[in-house]
Amino acid sequence: MRSFISFSEYVFLSRLFIFVAIILCLFSLYAGFFSPVYDYVENRVWNFYQRTALLYSSNKSQTVIVDIDENSLRQQGQWPWSREKIAELARILLSDYKAAAVAFDIWFTEDSKDQGDIQLLQLAKQYPIIFSQAFALPGQGSAVRSGYLGGGVAIPQDVKLPKAIGYIANNAVLATAPCIGHITPKKDFDGVSRIPLFIEWGQKAYPILSLEILRCLMHDNKPVLRRIDTSLIRYNKISISQNLGDKSILALDKDGYWKVPYIIPLENFTAIPVNDIFNHKVPPSLLQNQIVIVGSSATTLGDQHSTPQSVNVAGITVHAQMLEWMLSDSQVTPREQLEFLAWAWALISLLILYIFLIKRFSVFSIVLSVILFSVFWLMLGYVLWLYWQWWLPVLPIFAYILFTILQIPVEWSLVQRDSRYLKALFSGYLPPTVFDSIVKNGSRDVLQPKRQQLTILFADIADFTQRAESSTPESITALTQEILECLTYVVHEQRGTLDKYMGDAVMAFWNAPLSQKDHADLAVQAGLNMIEAVQAYNKTSALLQGEIITIRIGIHTGDVVVGNLGTKLRKAYTAIGDAVNVSARLQEKAKGLKQYLLVSEDTYILLKKNYPLKEYSKILLRGRKQELGVYVLSV
């Protein structure tokens, strides 16, 4: 039974692992595209774009916020104000200051104790006044029902909208006003970044305040919702009004929410204390033909929210931001082309990463590629958002996260297979320290055949043939094993690579698989140590029975091809080349010259230390025409 798989089997199994990882990654990518984890990543990136882009934004607001602030409450009296005071505020804004429209980010549930409700309703029939109502969504609010809902349009069967579990609306009088929008935010983990353009309640869809402001201002009929056929996967593209042009077509996410584009820095909003309106201290030019939203920044009224702009801003600014975007020249986002681009880039970049894996790129290269791909996509998305407010889906970022998570077990498995394969292949060749260095390096390049300068050593037992003739097979086998073990120990001690045993001979080399600058010194020192080891063996071996064993060693340095060589049926890590033949011939020649050690001139000139060697006359090796300078032991 084989103890390890072949290299071709290893490659096949490695690629099979990677193929399975690709399938899992693509499946997880599609499933994750609709998961809360994807929403988490997308909202994080979206909010980062918002905050960063606003640092460089000089956009000015086209709407005016009339703020019921703390000082106004002290001057005009604590909340709630009389309905007649509210009606007076609306009259001043619309009649005296000629505002284009007035929206109240406030609901009026209780009936008024004066004629204020009637006055407000009459003004609402004469001017564009938009009232508010709020809904409770699952997970944020109770199922209370208070007041009377106003407005509402039919819901197409193919449009998915958030469903409310309760509501707070206006009293019976104001519920009949022509224009009413809801002011319900969607509070995500990091604040208000999505809003429900429409909320479903009782077979009807109720529009948000900003949409109702535009509809009322343009004297448009009630919106007619309809889904538009599109290639978008995560979004439903709907049409809401004929008079909004391109802005009439918006894309809601799979849950029916729309991302709020924050394009105006907070400091660039025109906010006027309501007290200044009552006292007519505001220049008419600030309000004439402007859309006015009345709300409160007073903490006592509790209308503060966390948004990408700040952790504590008045809720009125969310509606103002939506309105500003609808009045701007920005294109509709997201566009179906961008979602297609996100999928295409995700698949192409994943394919590139898995090609890197198949080609066995280093972990550093793959991680660096993931980082560069991510940075490129995020920068592209930021540029598109900064200049055009186009939202580029973060699908590729999610793909890279999945790739990293799924690749950990795959890479671990491949590393383990690398380790086992290398251990099975090299455990008989290398000393443990060298082998551990190769495994730690984690590269399979050491296996690939390559041209390399090696110092090669051949050593065999002198007079082995004669000894074998006079000994039993068992005794000669035991003797040979003990001597080869002594020689192998020396090779490992000098950090050499054991190539093979050839009967009573051993072949070893230095400078592969790991480079060794002192490979010539290591080989010569190994030769000297082998002679000493055999001499020590002669004194202690019980098998010799007083006889003496000697060895002959040849050492030469030259270029060879070294690597995992062989056929499909059998391979071995070995060296092939003329330098190997020269080393073997030197070992043979040592017997005729009655020398223990022959070191070629090519090896001698590379030595960095002094050894007990002396120059010998040039010799001619068997099968070679050119003489070779050699050195022998000087003692």
pLDDT digit string, tens, across residues 280-325: 999 988 899 989 999 887 766 656 666 666 666 767 788 888 888 7
What is the per-residue pLDDT for 245? Answer: 58
* Cβ-based neighbours of 432, under 8 Å, separated by 6 or more: 492
User: Phi, psi (5° rounding) for residue 145?
Assistant: -125, 115
pLDDT (tens digit per residue) in 347-367: 888 888 877 776 767 777 878
Helix (H) or strand (E) holding 552: strand 551-566
Inter-CA distances, 615 with 286, 593, 627, 634, Å: 105, 14, 14, 9
Average pLDDT score over the chain: 80
**Burial degree of 417 (CB within 10 A; 0-12, 13-18, 19+):** middle
The encoded tokens of residue 481 equal 């094993």
pLDDT for position 394 = 78
Could you tell me the fold of the domain covering 442-633?
A: Alpha-Beta Plaits (3.30.70)
Three-state SS string over 299-346 comes to HHHCCEECCCCCCCEECHHHHHHHHHHHHCCCCCCCCHHHHHHHHHHH
Q: What is the pLDDT of residues 200-218, one digit of tens each?
A: 998 898 988 988 888 888 7
Q: How far apart are CA 565 and CA 576, in angstroms?
A: 9
For residue 242, pLDDT over 90 is answered with: no
> Residue 186 pairs with which residues in a beta bridge?
194
Alpha helices in 184-315 (DSSP H): 209-217, 274-278
pLDDT of 262 higher than 90: no
Q: Which residues contact 554 (CB under 8 A, 6 or more apart)?
A: 457, 458, 459, 582, 583, 584, 585, 586, 587, 588, 589, 590, 598
0.75 surpassed by pTM: no
Domain residue ranges in the chain: 7-49+336-424, 60-327, 442-633
Q: Which residues pair with 235 in a beta bridge?
A: 253
CA atoms of 37 and 399, how far apart (whole Å): 12
What burial letters (b/e) apply to 516-546, b meaning 16+ CB within 10 Å?
bebbbbbbbbbbbbbbebbeebeeebeeeee
Listed residue (316, 615, 576, 605) closest to 449, CA to CA: 576
Closest CA to 299 of 310, 287, 313: 313
DSSP 92: I
Which of 107, 101, 255 has the alpha carbon at shortest distance from 183?
107
pLDDT value, residue 385: 76
